[in-house]
Structure 1
Amino acid sequence: MREIERIYLAYLDEVEIEEIREEKSTYKLDKYQKEKIKRMFTKINIKPEKKPEKIEIGNIYLTFEDHIPIYYIIYDQIDEDTYEVLKMSDWVELGNENDLLTRINDEWFIVETWNNFYLTADQINRSIFFSKISDKDFDLIKKFLSGEIKELPREKRGLKAGESSYQMKFHEKESEIVRKYKLLPFEQLPELENTIKLPPKREILLELVAGKEKTTAFGENFVLHKDLENNRIELILPKELQGKKGIITILDQTYHIDHIPEKIYLKPIEEIKKIDVEKLAQKISVRETK
């Protein structure tokens, strides 16, 4: 058995113990795997750092999904009560070129730059404060996600891996663990589904210039329409994308969607008449993923 396969099996034993027992009834933990899991629980029992008074960008927290430990870093504040976070993992051996290597509390972690999800302030405050990432590493994450740099520095990333590699299997499982938290910005309102609140701190970028009161704008593969009566904007998506898995980016916020709907409703904090729909269209992208 190759070492990378051994590591991946140890990881699976951490995140889906029952499934491993059912599928691999003869599977036994070796010394390496036992030590890895023991170290995980020993680390978790260490007295955490004093929790800061407020949630800050760059803070790292620990929470649990059933028996699974989930480390995450605060990446951005979406609105008064919603934060975008990036998942972290101490399974650094399974990271690839899109995972940032960082040292936290004398231990190595990867920041999964591709694996964002959303939490409320209450969910974060109920988590265990673990530490804070260095300004230098956080700056690397921002530059990589914004496209300012095309790749992470070689010494700060995992190894390049193919689509059928154990690293990619690890990525799939890591995304699955936090899947239910990925659609928090889509409010499930009684009368309307698929609604996203526009981040208030970014609406200033869309301020309407006098004389440009257009109600419709076109993107590469979508249409935006101002619904003045209901104070919302309709993001209308083409039939060829509907029902497919995709990624929608709105004002640099990324939303991973399992089934692209016919429409997504954008709800501004300010009055919709103050927003330049053409400027907004320039800051939206929609693409299908496999």
Structure 2
Amino acid sequence: MRELERIFLAYLDEIENPIEDIREEKSTYKLDKYQKGKIKRMFTKINIEPEKKPEIHKGNIYLMFEDQIPIYYIIYDQIDEDLYEVLKMSQWVELGNENDLLTKIDDEWFIVETWNNFYLTADQIKSSIFYGKILSEDFELIKKFLNGEIKELPREKRGLTVGEGSYQIKFHKKESEIVRKYKLLPLEELGELENTIELPPEKEILLELVAGKEKTTAFGENFVLHKDLENNRIELILSEELQGKKGVITILDQTYQLDELPEKIYLEPTEDIEKIDIEKLAKKITIEETK
């Protein structure tokens, strides 16, 4: 078994069986010296007095738990008085790819998943465990990368460049799934969940050739389709001429009438997104302005 495969399987074991093995009295699971030290450091940080927690600032790193799975995250931006955009972090640095920033926090290595953003309220952040603060130069790198000021992260500050089907891609999908319910928080608060459409199963748009998997973008008459592989969804980006106008969108055999066409609509497929031929799908979508 290859080393990277062993690491990925260990990662799966951690998120699928978070702490049951540690708590069961009759468990045969044994912690090695590194794991014992990691747990000790975690609980040392948990014991911070609430009044000593710093104010919420960009670059702060926190730890919370979702179904007993540890979730590290960094504050990236403040959306409004009560809502923050954050980026997931992970200690599984071996599974990072070229879009993950390598950084060190209190002698521990992390990756910042620049592609894996989600949203938390101030109360959710305050109930998390303050873990530390990222170096200012690393935070600047993240901003420049996400703003498009630099096309790629410095070689010494990122994971490996990988191909489709790699363990890093599988890792990314799992990482996105862990925080998926927090990704729609802004839409829930703004009442914009209509901007997400569940894409019904349709055999005609499924791939027939493996080579088709390489295509992630397709163009329609007045829109662009783009596969968001990390979040297993498709972005339907409307032309500027249509945005804000009243219109009708037809996707496969479903029609949607909107009083105001948005900039972007998310299509949630019931199939694995890699099985969808995005060019065939584009041919089955029409957008028309109405009066």
List per-residue Cα deviations over 1:202-236 (Å, max 9, x = no partner). Answer: xxxxxxxxxxxxxxxx952773337xxxxxxx7x6
For 2:239, give the aligned amino acid.
E
Aligned residue in 1 for 2:142:
141
Partner of 1:169: 170
Does 1:15 pair with 2:34? no
Q: Give the match for residue 103 of structure 1.
A: 104
Q: Displacement of 1:44 after TM fit?
A: 1.2
The answer to whether the 8 Å contact 1:98/1:152 transfers is yes
* RMSD, aligned CA: 3.4
Pairing 1:146-225 to 2, within 5 Å after superposition: 146-187=147-188, 193-194=192-193, 219-220=238-239, 223-225=242-244
Does the CA contact (< 8 Å) of 2:45 and 2:131 recur in 1?
no
Measured at CA, do residues 35 and 94 of structure 1 come closer, stay the same or move farther in structure 2, by a change above 3 Å? farther
Question: Does the 8 Å CA contact 2:45/2:129 hold for their aligned counterparts?
Answer: no
CA distance in structure 2 between the aligned counterparts of 1:10 and 1:264, rounded to whole angstroms: 49
After superposition, give the CA deviation of every residue in 1:61-110 in whole Å (9 maximum; x if it has no partner): 00001111000000001111110000000000000000000000111000
Q: Which amino acid aligns with 1:4?
A: L
Change (3 A) 1:100 1:224: same
**1:79 partner letter:** D
Q: Which residue of 2 aligns with 1:89?
A: 90
The one-letter amino acid paired with 2:193 is N
Change in CA separation of 1:170 and 1:265 when aligned onto 2, cut-off 3 Å: farther
**1:159/1:222 Cα in 2 relative to 1: closer, same or farther (>3 Å)?**
farther
Q: Which of 50, 53, 66 is the aligned partner of 1:51?
A: 53
1:5 and 2:24 correspond: no
Q: Match for 1:220: what amino acid?
A: S
Kept in 1, the 8 Å contact 2:45–2:130? The answer is no
* CA–CA distance in structure 1, aligned partners of residues 253 and 39 of structure 2: 43
* Percent of aligned pairs sharing the same letter: 62
> For residue 73 of structure 1, what is the amino acid of its counterpart?
I
For the 8 Å contact 1:96–1:160, the answer to whether it is kept is yes
Partners of 1:68 and 1:127 lie apart in 2 by: 13
In 1: Cα distance, 2:117 partner to 2:169 partner: 16
Q: Is the 8 A contact 2:100 2:158 kept in 1?
A: yes
Asked if the contact 1:241–1:288 (Cα under 8 Å) also holds between the matched residues in 2, the reply is: no
Amino acid across the alignment from 2:133: K
Aligned length: 216
Q: Which amino acid aligns with 2:179?
A: V
Counterparts in 2 of 1:242 and 1:70: CA distance versus 1, 3 Å: farther
Alpha-carbon spacing, 1:10–1:55, altered in 2? closer, same or farther (3 Å) = same
